Amino acid sequence: MTVMTDPPRGSFRLSMLINDTRYRSMTFQAIALLMLIIAIAYLANNLLTNLAAQGLNIAYDFLGDPAGYDINQRLVEYNSQSSHARASLVGILNTLLVAFLACITATFFGVIAGVLRLSNNWLVARLMSFYVEIFRNIPVLIWIIIIFTIMTAVMPAPRAFRGDEPDATMLLGAFAFTNRGVYIPAPIWGPGSIVVVLTFLASVVGVIAYRRYATNLLYATGKLLPTGWPSLAIFFLPTILMFFIMGRPISLDYPELGGFNFRGGIQIGAPLIALWFALSIYTGAFIAENVRAGIQAVSKGQTEAASALGLRPNRVMNLVVLPQALRVIIPPLISQYLNITKNSSLAIAVGYADITATLGGITLNQTGRAIECVLLLMLFYLTISLSISAVMNVYNKSVALKER
């Protein structure tokens, strides 16, 4: 059936790109895109022309030259004769490490503080309010410097752990807290250790699957299965059994004081700890406000109805309130994860070798390739930010309200 407002059907004419409402918006968008491409091409050509006039050109062969500097905190093999590309890789891994750790701990702090801020206990609620207001209103750089200063000034030096100097003792004979960082045992992977690791990963998947099954069963039939001790059993027992079945293939290398420093084990440097903890407590204050807002966005009738059914307060929070509050919490939480990743570039203030300190700092100063280094730095942060957004948006869609 033909509607009177529809344009008459006929052959396509160029004038329809402007006069026909079906094509007009697409025409204007195409023109705007073309103008943007022309502007970018003009600026790029102008940049290359000016660089050529100065005898410069954009090239990335400097990444293969020896870096000539050391990096203390690293996850892969590296020395001063490694290339600038290798140094940049170390910086990338260090950035991802502190961002990942800070996202986990900031979420933990934020959820706990956000829930407790709504507690009926006046003292607990005021303490959480004090935490939120103090930490989110002071710049994160100041917190990084404060925590780093406290660690280096208060913690004992490694030589204080000498047997004849009882100024400091190791925790459980395995952990040493010093002004240079924390030393912990390092795993030694023997034959068959991969089987134990795979069993552990399977146990984690099993815990998630069991808890999801228990939740679905509760929603479908009202039958409440225990989740505490079964989750612990699934998490620990298979891995422990496989550990002994495979002949205990994983052992520990304990840190030992040798000379003026510890040898063996794993060193978690003071700059990493300061940056990690500062980003966690600072961003956790913002996440706490997101959690509080999400919980308060859930209708009070939902809580009252759940309580009327006899559910305990913790069950009401876990099964009724938080699942609905996630729809409000997740979108701003994505922004906080991005802020953690970008704020990690402040690591250079305490000497932590992230990508900004290596590629955007020492490599840039040594090679003089400012444009190339900045472009690579921008590309990295853009890529990691878009990746975090994509992953979190997938999760956000899974918890979003499904319209029928």
Q: Which domains does the chain have, with CATH numbers?
A: 84-163+269-399 (1.10.3720.10)
pLDDT tops 60 at residue 5: no
Query: Helices marked H in 355-400 — which ranges?
Result: 355-357, 364-367, 370-399
Confidence of residue 164 (pLDDT cuts 50, 70, 90): low
Average pLDDT over the chain, rounded to an integer: 84
Q: Which residue has the tokens 């005898």?
A: 55
- For 396, other C-beta atoms within 10 Å of its C-beta total 17
Q: Between 55 and 327, name the one with better pLDDT.
A: 327
Least confidently predicted of 6-15, 168-177, 294-303: 6-15
How many angstroms separate the CA atoms of 142 and 278, rounded?
Answer: 9
- Do 218 and 319 contact (CB within 8 A), yes or no? yes
Supply 129's token pair: 């309010």
Confidence of residue 404 (pLDDT cuts 50, 70, 90): low
pLDDT tops 70 at residue 287: yes
- Do 249 and 193 contact (CB within 8 A), yes or no? yes
How many angstroms separate the CA atoms of 289 and 300, rounded?
Answer: 18
In 51-119, where do the E strands start and end? Answer: none
Residue 328 CB contacts under 8 Å (≥ 6 apart), including other chains: 290, 293, 294, 297
Least confidently predicted of 40-49, 157-166, 331-340: 157-166
Digit-coded pLDDT (tens) for 385-401: 899 888 888 877 876 66
According to the model, what pLDDT value does residue 402 have?
A: 64
Confidence of residue 9 (pLDDT cuts 50, 70, 90): low
Digit-coded pLDDT (tens) for 337-354: 999 999 998 988 888 888
Supply 380's token pair: 């990295």
Residue 339 CB contacts under 8 Å (≥ 6 apart), including other chains: 283, 286
Digit-coded pLDDT (tens) for 80-130: 888 888 999 999 999 999 999 999 999 999 999 998 998 888 899 999 999
How many angstroms separate the CA atoms of 143 and 39, rounded?
Answer: 42
In 216-255, where do the E strands start and end? Answer: 250-253
Confidence of residue 8 (pLDDT cuts 50, 70, 90): low
Q: Is the model's pTM score more than 0.85?
A: no
| 273, 279, 280, 286: CA torsion to nearest 10 | 170
